[in-house]
Structure 1
Amino acid sequence: MTDTDFEGFYRAQTAPLVAFLCVQGAALPVAARAAQDAMAVAGSWTARFGAGVRVPDLRTWTYRIALDGLAGWAEPEDPIPNPLLADEPARDQPAAGLDRLAELSPRQRRVVAMAMASCSAGEIGYELMLPAYKVRRTLRYAGKLLGATTHDAVEARLRDLRAELVGALDPALDLDAGLAEAPRVLAQTSGLGSRPPVPPCGAPVPAVPPDAVNAPAPGGLREYAAALAARDDSYRRAERTRFPVAELAAVRLGALFSFHADRFRRDAERSGYRGSRFDFPAADARAYVGALARDIACASPMFDAIRSSGSRSGTGPARLAYHLESSLEHDDPHTNEVSYDGIDLALGLAEFRRGALNLALRALPPHHGQTSDLAETLRRSAFDTARVTEQLRSLSSDLSEAESTLPDGVYVDMTRDFAAHEGYNADLIHGIGAAQDTLSPFG
């Protein structure tokens, strides 16, 4: 994508993005600020990687960045000037149809906003980390509020509402001024030679469980990040020069993909229980895995960089995600065929994480890499990853043996060890993110 292409992207997507944020409940000045910030990141991304950025992927990332940024913007008494807003815009958010959605909870409004952005129930489940049946239930409820009773009628009404909102925003937004402000600052990374692209928001990020906020796992990345935040500026400035930014960004993204792959495995398994009320239709499962596979495909240069640096990651995660997506074309989510492909994807991602962790350890300066808190934490994480790999291989072996012998009453729990793996991935995701946030002011 060139600068000219980005200009077209900005002009086509900014008003829908502001409308998307208004549906979340944001006032117009706040929505416009968050949208402008997200577009600035998108502009930086396209300037850095040019033709390597696809418009659908950039749109997805920009929406994710804007949603993350929305929490950081509250409307002050004297709002910060934003060139995206016209000189005297209406201070209230566009009201077209939004009053009917006022009784929805914040989570329900997110579901509706994503449906307005033409996401399917399975894609919304992936983005918001919700079971697909809860997404469908929310859309049915929103449909009643909007006077639509069938699925097709709900989709049509949401499309109309989106068009009304975008039209109402047209006189309030100055796209020329907003485009002129969007910065082209390149992200600073280090390591991995050619600096493979790290998507700015490469996968949906799970929230930290409330009971885990003040209780990081002993010896984990969140404990390291908490200790780092308590150190003085001089220590953190020195740590920033030693911190393997690109390698740990790769680890974090691999953990994010693992988190979502395991969520799919869990939901698929639950849908197969006899008499279960948990509904995960094949269409929703395909949409979920399709969204995950697209994100993994976007990160394939990173996977290739890790593999070319000496890791033994076997078949690439992008191809394994494609195999899982293909198996869902003719098998139900809970079948053994899908289970095998889901385990293979989880294995590939675990092996990738181990390779990235080993590279991060090698990237630490001499001496520092032998004795530092970060080095010890990374060694522990690499050991945990090796254990995860063995557990997944054992699970695959047990499933194969059960299939070959078929004894009465044999059942292999596809989600065993899931809680431990989820906690491990969450530690990597939030620990690395917190450490990067702490160190970001120092370069």
Structure 2
Amino acid sequence: MTDSGTGTGTGTGTGTGTGTGTGTGAGLAGLPPTHTTSLVAFLCALGVELPVAARVAQDTMAVAGAWAGLLRKAVADADLRPWTYRIALGVLERWSGRQTTPGSALLAADRAARYRTPAGFGRLAELDTRQRRVVALAMMSSPAGEIGYELRIPAYKVHRTLRHAAKLFGVTTADALQDRLGDLRAELTTALEPVLNPPPDPGSVPAGARGARLLERAGGFGAPLPVPPWGAPVAAVPPQALSAPTPGGLREYAVALAAQDAPSRRAQRQRFPAAELAAVRLGAVWSSHVERFRQDAERSGYRNSGFDFPAVDARAFVDALAGDIERAAPLFTALAGSGTHAARQARALASGLAYDDPHTNEVAHDAIALALSLAEFRRGVLDLALRELSPRRGPESSLAEALDRAVFDATRVSVQLVSLERDLSEAESTLPDGVYVDMTRDFAAHEAYNADLIHGIEAP
């Protein structure tokens, strides 16, 4: 791990910490040239006007190209399409509310007037923003469990939205809806072809200073950090979706920092162990999704709960989570493999769902093991952050105090998870078949801790 200032100490090879890599990562270059057009179609499905959609797609691929040099092998064998959808949503949020229409080299302006949105998209007009995101991801062939992971909503709500969308298209089955959405995507792509210039090869999009500026605008962890934006769907975890952070943590530090004047804030931020704090945030986001998976699994195990979380959706959810951990884990070489261990545990959880229902104790064991490995990951990064901060801090440092508190809480969480795993093992032989037990877990407390780490390094 390195600080945000210079180095490349995350095992990222030739990519630098300022988003100025060559943009020739194998995984990004492996995307089909039509992927940029697919991004435009995805955005149009959300109700975005064509000029904005074209510019957002263009900037998205520039951001992804800038990060490709950093990610290298970490993403060479991964499906990057969901990752680029996240970046597109982040870039779109930065464009929203602007009074002027952004230009785009992708858009043939002299021919844009010929573009007409296919009539089928008119049926989606009555859907709200979240529902349109569900349908747009489904149009891109994302399974329901993965959509639930991306948007942080239960899988049954994804199915409910898709059933509503099916009625809009006059069909009754999920397969029929998928066929209609596939036809709609093809129709939209055909309609776009006459008005879009040929998109550049994704692997050859220049990064440079423009890529760095785009990274700043796209959010994520900021351009200087050698950590991929949307290594996990951070944007899908709004503060109001999480429990209130524990007083005295990083969030309290951020509130105090926001109250200072601009020069004081800049001076404080220059001392940030920024890469480590970004990694802490990633680990907390992953943990938050594991907690949600386990809560959904537990609720689905009770009869007449009305909460449906079938194994196929649970598997898609965990596959998406495992893919995120696998993409980002190689960046954290200073942690002696703890990120890689978490990736293995996530894959073990996904494999178990091929045989067991989400609410079973077998799956609970695997989920606890994953939560424990992520807790160790967070504690390791927090220790690194403290060591990185120590040489630069003054005699008193409120950030150091906040990190000390976070390390203490991380240790407490790990102890509770070890105890939970033991309790579950001892109870297994006495439980009726099909009963899921989380015997001593305080989900709210653990979620509050995750919220503190996710949002505590940002100004409110």
**TM-score if structure 1 supplies the norm length?**
0.86
Equivalences for 1:314-329 in 2 at 5 Å?
A: 316-329=341-354
Task: Quickly say closer, same or farther: Cα 1:118–1:177, change in 2 above 3 A.
Answer: closer
SS at 1:388 equivalent: helix
Q: Which residue of 1 is the match for residue 256 of structure 2?
A: 227
Task: Quickly say closer, same or farther: Cα 1:290–1:370, change in 2 above 3 A.
Answer: farther
**Pair 1:363 & 2:388 matched:** yes
**Pair 1:144 & 2:173 matched:** no
**Pair 1:11 & 2:33 matched:** yes
Q: Which residue of 1 is the match for residue 220 of structure 2?
A: none
Return 5+ residue gaps in structure 2 as ranges: 1-22, 216-223
Name which of 288, 297, 307 aligns with 1:278: 307
Q: Which residue of 1 is the match for residue 276 of structure 2?
A: 247
Q: How many residue pairs align between the two structures?
A: 424
CA offset digits 1:319-373 (Å, max 9, x no partner): 1111111111111111111001100100000011000000000001436166211
Q: Which residue of 2 is the match for residue 218 of structure 1?
A: 247
Task: Quickly say closer, same or farther: Cα 1:252–1:332, change in 2 above 3 A.
Answer: same
Task: Quickly say closer, same or farther: Cα 1:293–1:161, change in 2 above 3 A.
Answer: same
Q: Which residue of 1 is the match for residue 365 of structure 2?
A: 340
Deviation at 1:291, TM superposition (A): 1.0
Task: Quickly say closer, same or farther: Cα 1:148–1:211, change in 2 above 3 A.
Answer: closer
SS at 1:316 equivalent: helix
Identity, % of aligned positions: 61
Name which of 228, 241, 249 aligns with 1:199: 228
Return 5+ residue gaps in structure 1 as ranges: 189-194, 439-443
Q: Which residue of 2 is the match for residue 352 of structure 1?
A: 377
1 or 2 for the larger relative contact order (CA 8 Å, sep ≥6)?
Answer: 2
Q: Which residue of 1 is the match for residue 207 of structure 2?
A: 183
Task: Quickly say closer, same or farther: Cα 1:10–1:44, change in 2 above 3 A.
Answer: farther
Q: Which residue of 1 is the match for residue 42 of structure 2?
A: 20
Greater shift, 283-292 or 46-55, is seen at: 46-55
**Pair 1:257 & 2:286 matched:** yes
**Pair 1:292 & 2:321 matched:** yes
1:350–1:389 Cα contact (<8 Å) kept: yes
SS at 1:38 equivalent: helix
Q: Which residue of 2 is the match for residue 192 of structure 1?
A: none
Name which of 48, 53, 56 aligns with 2:70: 48
Q: Which residue of 2 is the match for residue 94 of structure 1?
A: 117
Greater shift, 377-386 or 177-186, is seen at: 177-186
CA offset digits 1:123-142 (Å, max 9, x no partner): 11111111111111111110
Q: Which residue of 1 is the match for residue 60 of structure 2?
A: 38
Aligned partner letter, 1:397: R
Task: Quickly say closer, same or farther: Cα 1:172–1:198, change in 2 above 3 A.
Answer: same
Partners of 1:376 and 1:109 in 2: CA distance: 43
Deviation at 1:395, TM superposition (A): 1.4
Q: Which residue of 2 is the match for residue 384 of structure 1?
A: 409
Q: Which residue of 2 is the match for residue 208 of structure 1?
A: 238
Aligned partner letter, 2:375: A
Greater shift, 78-87 or 172-181, is seen at: 172-181
**Pair 1:424 & 2:449 matched:** yes
1:324–1:341 Cα contact (<8 Å) kept: yes
Task: Quickly say closer, same or farther: Cα 1:181–1:52, change in 2 above 3 A.
Answer: closer
Aligned partner letter, 1:119: S
SS at 2:113 equivalent: coil
Q: Which residue of 2 is the match for residue 64 of structure 1?
A: 86
Deviation at 1:256, TM superposition (A): 0.8
Deviation at 1:318, TM superposition (A): 1.0
Q: CA RMSD in A?
A: 3.1
Partners of 2:334 and 2:178 in 1: CA distance: 42
Partners of 1:46 and 1:196 in 2: CA distance: 13
**TM-score if structure 2 supplies the norm length?**
0.83
Partners of 2:268 and 2:54 in 1: CA distance: 36
**Pair 1:81 & 2:110 matched:** no
Partners of 2:278 and 2:230 in 1: CA distance: 11
Q: Which residue of 1 is the match for residue 398 of structure 2?
A: 373
Deviation at 1:292, TM superposition (A): 0.8
2:27–2:78 Cα contact (<8 Å) kept: no
Partners of 2:339 and 2:78 in 1: CA distance: 29
Deviation at 1:8, TM superposition (A): 6.8
2:28–2:80 Cα contact (<8 Å) kept: no
Partners of 1:427 and 1:68 in 2: CA distance: 22
Name which of 385, 408, 427 aligns with 1:402: 427
CA offset digits 1:91-136 (Å, max 9, x no partner): 9772441101111111111100000011001111111111111111
SS at 2:117 equivalent: coil
Greater shift, 1-10 or 28-37, is seen at: 1-10
Deviation at 1:424, TM superposition (A): 1.2
Partners of 1:348 and 1:114 in 2: CA distance: 30
Aligned partner letter, 1:264: F
